[in-house]
Amino acid sequence: MKFKIKSQDLQKSINIVEKAVSPRSSLPVLENIYFEINEGKLKLRGNDLEIGIEHSISLENAEADGRILVKSKTISSIVAKLNNQFLDIKVDDKNTFKLQGQKVDFDILGTDASEYPLFPTIEDGSKLTLSIAQLKDLIKHTIFSVSFDETKQFLNGILVKNEGDNLHFVATDGYRLAMKTQKIIPLDKDLSVIVPHKAVNELNRIIQSEKDDKEIYINISENQIAFQLDSFLLISRVIQGQFPDYKQVIPPHSQSEYLVPRKQLLAAAERASIIASSSNNVVRLLFENNTVTMKANAPGLGEFKEEIDIENIKGDSPTRIAFNIRLVMDVIKTVEADQIKMSFNNELSPCRVEEKDNDDFIYIIMPIRTSEFQQA
């Protein structure tokens, strides 16, 4: 193996694939990045047996084909500390990875690539295409609601499901649920898979630097999901298990509906959280006529109260309800509309949060029962 490459190009590729490298694995070989030169193309791979990420770079100065494994932490640290310069890289018959810059030389002990596990191949499945902007939007509106409770693995990811010309991304941690819908060309068959949080999170990091109008190709089978974008490929196993019936959580109708200015609500929520953080993050809301009063208190610390002007769309006043303010702030920070609609039936029923005049996103948050609030 022998080739030349710009240090910044190599660093970008390493940064992409190392997200799938196990830093401390029971299989030491998985702590490596796979390098391969074939027909003028450099291919890097990371693989932890759950997620595989591959990135390719076309080279003008590839002199000899070959492949090798190099410790991810080592090569990543080296390249990150090199200024923008051309690198000469070659591998000798003793699997020594020789990297030479303008005034720097590294000889890194590599490993024979034959020890590396087979990279997963894309299984035949349902295929769809989204723009990067659409995929970013789907992930942004759902990933914050994923559960990290390892005893409930079926909640440790995002449900990807189609219904006709609608593609749903759904996530829940048992206390709240987020669903984002995107119009697509109807698929040949119905699909429903749970994509692990790690795979979605790494995918989201990678696509942030891509242009919004670029297309990404998605292949979904019974056991895996693959995302492909010109020189990039991510393949992940899907979580086996039954995702909760999210439709049962979404209230079909509400007795009370209010339009609330988003920025004012966020500002008030951030102030309330200063006190509420010392009292299980509980904040109490009193909806009355065209005003919502937000209250928080913590023994030994103090109290908070603030009023916000709102619009009563439907329902009798007053209406009282209490929430974990962190769960409220998550959705306010995610949406961008000037006004959000909050709908519920009573102080113990799920609250539905949506953007005004937009039904593509639904957020459900469970209220908190507080005897203290009932007396307020």
Q: Taking Cα atoms as reference points, which of 38, 33, 29, 5 lies closest to residue 19?
A: 33
CB 175 within 8 A of CB 365: yes
Token representation of residue 119:
């990279």
Beta-carbon contacts of 156 under 8 Å, excluding residues fewer than 6 positions away, are 146, 147, 148, 149, 150, 194, 196, 197, 239
Tell me how far the alpha carbon of residue 2 is from its chain's centroid.
Answer: 37
What integer pLDDT is reported at residue 371 of this predicted model? 64
Place of tokens 């299984």: 123
What integer pLDDT is reported at residue 373 of this predicted model? 44
- For 275-328, the pLDDT digits (tens) are 999 999 999 999 998 999 999 999 999 999 999 999 999 987 788 999 999 999
3-state DSSP assignment of residue 372: helix
Token representation of residue 103:
């005034």
Helix axes 262-276, 325-334, angle to 10 degrees: 150
- For 333-368, the pLDDT digits (tens) are 999 999 999 999 999 999 999 999 888 999 999 999
Average pLDDT rounded to a whole number, residues 176-201: 95
Average pLDDT rounded to a whole number, residues 4-26: 92
Q: How confident is residue 64, by pLDDT bands cut at 50, 70 and 90?
A: confident
What integer pLDDT is reported at residue 336 of this predicted model? 92
Write down the pTM of the prediction.
0.92
- For 249-282, the pLDDT digits (tens) are 999 899 999 999 999 999 999 999 999 999 999 9
41 DSSP β-pair partners: 38, 58
Total count of residues recorded for the chain: 376
CB 322 within 8 A of CB 347: yes
CB 198 within 8 A of CB 117: no
> Which pairing describes strands 32-38 and 358-365: parallel, antiparallel, or unpaired?
unpaired
At residue 375, does pLDDT exceed 60? Answer: no
At residue 374, does pLDDT exceed 70? Answer: no
Average pLDDT rounded to a whole number, residues 202-223: 95
Domains in the chain, CATH or no CATH each: 2-115 (3.10.150.10), 126-247 (3.10.150.10), 252-375 (3.10.150.10)
Q: How confident is residue 26, by pLDDT bands cut at 50, 70 and 90?
A: confident
- For 74-118, the pLDDT digits (tens) are 999 999 999 889 999 999 999 999 999 989 999 999 999 998 999
